[in-house]
Amino acid sequence: MRAGSRLLQAVSCLAGAVRRRDREIVRTAGAALTEDTPRDALIGIGNRRHLDDSLRTLGMLDSREYVIVMIDLDHFKSINDRFFHVVGNKVLVRIAQEIVAGSRPGDLAARYSGEEFVLVMSDIDDTAARTVCDRICRAIHVIDWSFYSSDLTLTASLGLASSTEVSGGPLDVLSLADRYLYLAKQAGRDCVMGADPRPAS
């Protein structure tokens, strides 16, 4: 075999190994929760430790596109003030369920802190990611809380950032998502900012 042919074969084998490694890393980072997954004790989805570990894993990839979404419940403190933490905790559980239901199988949903959540989606373009976020935003808006009070309502603000928007790693994308979240709050809450500048209708 000529030297040039051997070199091409070696390069092809190396490229195949890299692709297999990337698929395995993404599968691990976005895998569904298992018995060993660090979970939030209250609401059952991934906790901050699980999120941090997954972002570190995602950062090992050289050229993988992904989206990170920051989700914050609007005026959640007023719910705890009016109905106390027993109801507030039940609300958080229901919100986590809506986030998981509105996302795709394999997406990573985690509690970031307090009433903040993070959603990580790999192998998705900005338009599809925006559709997921709009769906979650609307689903939270229409939840019927009348079991607790006839005047209890709750909305969420979402900030959506893509890895294609920054030159850094997952933490930089997370930071950008947080800035978009701030813009959503400034725009009146109950909307999505990022990927498309228009608020969700």
Annotated catalytic residues are: 115
Angle at 67 between CA 185 and CA 127, to 5 degrees: 85
Residue 150 vs residues 105, 145, 146, 147: alpha-carbon distances, Å: 34, 7, 5, 7
Q: How many CB atoms are located within 10 Å of the residue 39 CB?
A: 18
Single out the residue of 91, 100, 125 nearest to residue 46, CA to CA. Answer: 100
Q: Indicate the helix (H) or strand (E) that contains 146.
A: none
Distance of alpha carbon 54 from alpha carbon 111, whole angstroms:
13
* Strand 116-122 to 192-193 pairing: unpaired
Q: Closest Cα partner for 50 from 41, 40, 59? A: 40
Task: Count Cβ atoms below 10 Å from residue 90 Cβ, excluding itself.
Answer: 17
Q: How many CB atoms lie within 10 A of CB 134?
A: 19
Residue identified by tokens 């609007």 is 74
